[in-house]
Amino acid sequence: MLLRHRFLTLQTASLFSSSSFSSSSVLPFSLDFRKPFSHTIQQTPNLSSSTTRHVHASAAKDSKPAISETAKFVKKALFVPPGVEPDLVTEDMILPGSNIVLGPYAGHSQIKQVEFVKSSAKPKDCPKDALPEFAILGRSNVGKSSLINALVRKKEVVLTSKKPGKTQLINHFLVNKNWYIVDLPGYGFANAPESTRMDWSSFTKGYFLNRETLVAVLLLVDASIPPRKIDLDCANWLGRNNIPMTFVFTKCDKMKASKGIRPDENIKNFQEIIRENYREPPPWIMTSSVTGLGRDELLLHMSQLRNYWDN
């Protein structure tokens, strides 16, 4: 059994209902922590979900201020990690700009040291030292390499480019000598025919399916453009294959986004689709590699996933 299944598993549920994503082969999924930490929110959340009520009730009981705009924006579809009782979630446990509740497994999160280890052309060539790792996945040009540079606070640890397709190999970066960040090739080149767009999977498919040390995939989604089918197709593929993931919205600094739609609106629209199709909400977080938005929060989230995985 893959080690990552000790941490969390994505489960398939009923068929997609959204017409834009309807396909007989497309299945939604939900997050489901395995025992002994099975504190998931049970039903499809909406504005009046059980979690919301818990947040409100808890805040009222403790005479805390009313729920913040951020928490409202989260739309009450919280990601509750292992070790947290959903009934006891309070607003101050939610990471700003995300739906992620911080739990007891969160720990040391800052990056003190990072070193490039290797580029692998094939999944079987990846490091074999069994350290936990996070894969950075997303459409070409979404900002994968930039996010890694922002996380490690180095400008050029990873090459970035205006030209899509810069990252061609599986690149392993060792952090603090005990976990990896993995930069992957992007999928969905603009202008490429649909048939070749998902070719990334033939390259990285083996990696996702066989990498036992994969704690989670950070699936990057560009918040400066409206939701793309290919991103949801990718999320769906990961879900069907029980690969844990976190949605990381990038380019949230681009407030003058294309087509006059702002990042927060794009994210809300994306959330609407997610909420329609997922029984349990995956964790998601807003980031900007330009301003550093979400950096520390994402690292904290990664620390709780990693520490639980290590446990």
Ligand X SMILES: Nc1nc2c(ncn2[C@@H]2O[C@H](COP(=O)(O)OP(=O)(O)OP(=O)(O)O)[C@@H](O)[C@H]2O)c(=O)[nH]1
Binding region for ligand X (CB under 6 A): 138, 140-146, 160-162, 164-167, 186, 250-251, 253-254, 288-290
Four-point Cα dihedral 273, 277, 278, 279, nearest 10: 130
Closest contact distance (angstroms) between CB of 298 and Mg ion is: 17
The residue among 167 and 304 lying less far from ligand X, judged by its C-beta, is 167
Instruction: Let me know: does 287 contact 296? Beta carbons within 8 Å.
Output: no
The residue among 101 and 170 lying less far from Mg ion, judged by its C-beta, is 170
Closest contact distance (angstroms) between CB of 178 and ligand X is: 24
The residue among 31 and 95 lying less far from ligand X, judged by its C-beta, is 95
Closest contact distance (angstroms) between CB of 107 and ligand X is: 26
The residue with its CB nearest to ligand X is: 186
Q: Name the binder of 140 from Mg ion, ligand X, none, CB < 5-8 A by kind.
A: ligand X
Question: How many CA atoms does the CB half-sphere of 118 hold within 13 Å?
Answer: 10
Question: How many CA atoms does the CB half-sphere of 132 hold within 13 Å?
Answer: 19
Instruction: Let me know: does 172 contact 125? Beta carbons within 8 Å.
Output: no
Per CB under 5 A, residues contacting Mg ion are 144-145, 166-167
Q: Distance from CA of residue 186 to its chain's centroid? A: 15
- Between vectors from CA 72 to CA 68 and to CA 75, what angle results, nearest 5°? 155
End-to-end Cα distance, the chain: 16
Q: Name the binder of 289 from ligand X, Mg ion, none, CB < 5-8 A by kind.
A: ligand X
Q: Name the binder of 26 from ligand X, Mg ion, none, CB < 5-8 A by kind.
A: none
The residue among 56 and 166 lying less far from ligand X, judged by its C-beta, is 166
CA distances from 144 to 70, 101, 108, 137, 249 (A): 25, 24, 23, 7, 11
The residue among 134 and 278 lying less far from Mg ion, judged by its C-beta, is 134
Closest contact distance (angstroms) between CB of 151 and ligand X is: 12
Closest contact distance (angstroms) between CB of 216 and Mg ion is: 19
